[in-house]
């Protein structure tokens, strides 16, 4: 829309306000009507303040420019654990981490690491962060490191499912058996079935029954 406004020579809000609403709306539709109203100070929407995202930041000044990637990884790992232990994080989980570095000779390096799910354990977070750094390490020696926890979740825990997990696991077992059944000379897969748990003879207490597949 801004590109089209420039083509029409409309560079200021005053220029838009001097135009009739009908003609302007015919050119730009509902968005044009909103723009025209704002240019005249017409705004009935309630004021919505911008929400500042809560973050936790930890920094580390290197004693000398770090050339070794191992030294850089050690420094970042320390910062990750320190940030997770910061009282400002509390018990909230973290969805994303920003890793930054000030480089020797000027310039900076930044690496965003988004987790598949919010993480509460710094060691789990560090595993994902380390992998991302190894794929895209800083290109020059590092003078200062910074770790910022962003996307802090509201929850402080997760509700585990009591029954869904077993059902999902059993479906995975059945799928594995089905795939084995498609192979030539597929090995038999069995499950232990209780017969007479109170029997004094071990062989009569249970038996191994073959798991049948749909193949």
| CB atoms near residue 143 (< 10 Å) | 18
Instruction: Let me know if residue 46 belongs to a domain.
Output: no
pLDDT in tens, 163-178: 555 566 667 676 676 6
Any idea what the CATH number is for the domain that residue 94 is in? 3.30.1490.100
* 132 touches 184 (CB < 8 A): no
Instruction: Let me know if residue 204 belongs to a domain.
Output: yes
Q: In 3D, which of 105, 103, 86, 102 has the Cα closest to residue 94? A: 86
Name every residue whose Cβ is closer than 8 Å to that of residue 155 and which is 6 or more positions away in sequence: 92, 93, 118
Q: What is the pTM of this model?
A: 0.52
The segments of the chain whose pLDDT lies below 50 read 215
Instruction: Let me know if residue 76 belongs to a domain.
Output: yes
* Confidence at residue 215, expressed as pLDDT on a 0 to 100 scale: 44
Which neighbouring-strand residues pair with 113?
A: 97
Whether residue 64 is found in the same domain as residue 107: yes
Domain extent at residue 93: 56-152
Two structure tokens written together for 148 = 């910022």
> What's the number of domains the chain is made of?
3
Whether residue 115 is found in the same domain as residue 170: no
Whether residue 74 is found in the same domain as residue 144: yes
Rounded Cα–Cα distance for residues 85 and 125 (Å): 13
Whether residue 7 is found in the same domain as residue 64: no
Instruction: Let me know if residue 158 belongs to a domain.
Output: no
E strands, the chain, are 56-66, 94-103, 108-119, 142-152, 190-194, 206-210
């Amino acid at each position: 829309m801004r590109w089209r406004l420039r083509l029409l020579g409309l560079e200021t809000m005053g220029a838009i306000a001097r135009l009739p609403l009908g003609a302007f709306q015919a050119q730009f539709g509902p968005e044009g009507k909103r723009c025209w109203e704002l240019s005249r100070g017409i705004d009935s929407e309630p004021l919505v303040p911008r929400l500042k995202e809560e973050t936790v930041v930890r920094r580390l000044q290197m004693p000398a420019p770090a050339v070794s990637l191992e030294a850089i990884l050690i420094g970042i790992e320390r910062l990750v654990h320190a940030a997770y232990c910061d009282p400002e994080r509390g018990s909230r989980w973290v969805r994303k981490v920003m890793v930054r570095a000030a480089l020797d000779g000027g310039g900076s390096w930044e690496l965003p690491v988004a987790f598949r799910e919010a993480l509460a354990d710094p060691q789990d977070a560090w595993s994902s962060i380390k992998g991302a750094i190894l794929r895209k390490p800083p290109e020059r020696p590092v003078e200062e490191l910074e770790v910022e926890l962003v996307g802090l979740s509201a929850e402080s825990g997760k509700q585990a499912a009591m029954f869904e997990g077993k059902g999902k696991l059993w479906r995975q077992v059945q799928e594995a058996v089905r795939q084995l059944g498609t192979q030539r000379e597929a090995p038999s897969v069995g499950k232990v079935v209780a017969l007479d748990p109170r029997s004094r003879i071990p062989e009569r207490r249970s038996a191994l029954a073959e798991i049948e597949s749909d193949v």
